[in-house]
A and B are shown apart, each in its own frame.
Chain A
Amino acid sequence: MTLRYSTGAGSNSEATSKRPPRWAESLLIHMLKPRDRESIPGDLFEEYREERAPALGRARANLWYYRQVLSLASYHGGPMKRSLMYLCFFTLATSVCLGLTENLLRPPLFEVRIGWAILLGVASLSTILYLVLPEYRLLRILVSLGAFLMLSPAIGAIAMTLGGEGHALLIGAVVILQFSLSVLTLLFVSDTPGSLLHL
C-alpha cells in the first residue's frame, strides 16, 4: 500500500511539473472562442512541456505561460469582453446613482465624491464603447478625447473647491494619469487592424 502510494505521488508530481498551471489553463480556455478551445491551449501545452519547462525550469516556464495567456487575452476577448461589458454597465449605473445621491445630500467633500462618480462613469462608458465598437477607431479616439476633456475640468474644479489642497491635487494627478493610461490601452491594445500597436 505504501509502495502504491509512493509511486502514485511520484508520477503525479512529475505530471504536474510538466503541465502549465491549471488555473491559467482554465482561464485561457474560457476566454477563447469555442473553435480555438482545443487547438490553442494544446499548442501552448505542447510548447510548455516539450520546450519551455525542460529549458527554463518550472517557475520561468510558468511566467512564459502567463505572458502568453495575457497576450491572448488582448486579442481573443470573447466571453471575457462580454463579462467586462456587464461590469462596466453596472459601474456606469452605480456612478450615476452615486452622483445624483451626493448632489442631493451634499455631505462634506461631496465634490470629491461626485468627481469620483464622474470618473467611474466616464471610464466605464469609454470601455463599453470600445468593446461594442472595436472597428470604429476614429469614434473611439473622439469618445476618449471627449471623456478626457470632461474629466480634466472636473478634477480641476474639485481641486479649486478644496483650495488646492495637496491631497486633492495628488489624487487628481493620479486619477488623470490612470485615466490617460486607460485611454492609451483602449486605443492601442486591440484586436483590430487599425490599432497602432497591431503587429
Chain B
Amino acid sequence: MADILGGFEQAVLLTVLKLGDGAYGRTILKEVSICLNRDVAAGAVYATLDRLEAKGLISSRLAPGTPARGGRARRYYELAAAGMGALNETKAALENLWRHAAWPVGGDA
C-alpha cells in the first residue's frame, strides 16, 4: 500500500479533481483557500503541486497566456491515474482508522 497522503496534498489533489479543465495555479490557490477557510500562501500550493508532479500523481501542460496575465503562459494541472489511486487508498486507510473511534473524539465538542 502506498503512503497515506498528507492533509494538504489531499486538499490540492481533490481541488485539481474538482476544477477539471480549469485547474491552474491561480484557481487551485483560490479554491484551496476557500475549502480550508484560510488564506493559503502561494508557495505552499506551488511546492505541493511540484512535489505531486514529481511523484507522478498529477501531470501538467502549458497553455498560451492572455493579456489579463501579461501574456504569460498558464500551467494547467490534471490528476494522473496514480493520483486517483493514491486518493482512493488514502480515503480507505483513513476510514479504516476512524472506524474504531467515536466522533467527535473525547465526547461532544
Interface residues of A (CB under 8 A from B): 19, 36, 38-47, 49-50, 67-68, 70-76, 191, 193, 198-199
Name 8 A/B residue pairs within 8 A (Cβ), A-sorted.
Answer: A41-B70, A42-B73, A43-B25, A75-B43, A76-B47, A76-B50, A193-B6, A199-B6
Asked if A74 contacts B25 (CB within 8 A), the reply is: no
Asked if A41 contacts B44 (CB within 8 A), the reply is: no
> Residue A45 contacts which of B6, B43, B72, B75 (CB distance < 8 angstroms)?
B72
Chain B interface size, as a band, is: 20 to 34
What are the residues of chain A within 8 A of B25 when measuring CB–CB?
Answer: 39-40, 43
Q: With A39-B75, A42-B72 known to touch, is A199 a contact of B44 (CB < 8 Å)?
A: yes
Q: With an 8 A cutoff between CB atoms, is B48 at the interface?
A: yes
Asked if A47 contacts B62 (CB within 8 A), the reply is: no
- How many A-B contacts if CB must be within 8 Å? 78
Looking at A38, A39, A75, which has the most chain B CB atoms within 10 Å of its CB?
A39
> Residue A46 contacts which of B41, B43, B68, B75 (CB distance < 8 angstroms)?
B68
- Look across to chain A and name the residue whose beta carbon is closest to the beta carbon of B65: A42
Asked if B42 contacts A40 (CB within 8 A), the reply is: yes
Q: With an 8 A cutoff between CB atoms, is B86 at the interface?
A: no
Chain B nearest Cβ from A120, distance in angstroms: 28
Q: With an 8 A cutoff between CB atoms, is B91 at the interface?
A: no
What are the residues of chain B within 8 A of A199 when measuring CB–CB?
Answer: 6, 8, 40, 44, 48
CA distance A107 to B22 in the complex (A): 67
What are the residues of chain B within 8 A of A70 when measuring CB–CB?
Answer: 43
Asked if A71 contacts B68 (CB within 8 A), the reply is: no
- Look across to chain B and name the residue whose beta carbon is closest to the beta carbon of A19: B70
B1-57 residues at the A interface, CB under 8 angstroms: 6, 8, 24-26, 29-30, 40-44, 46-48, 50-51
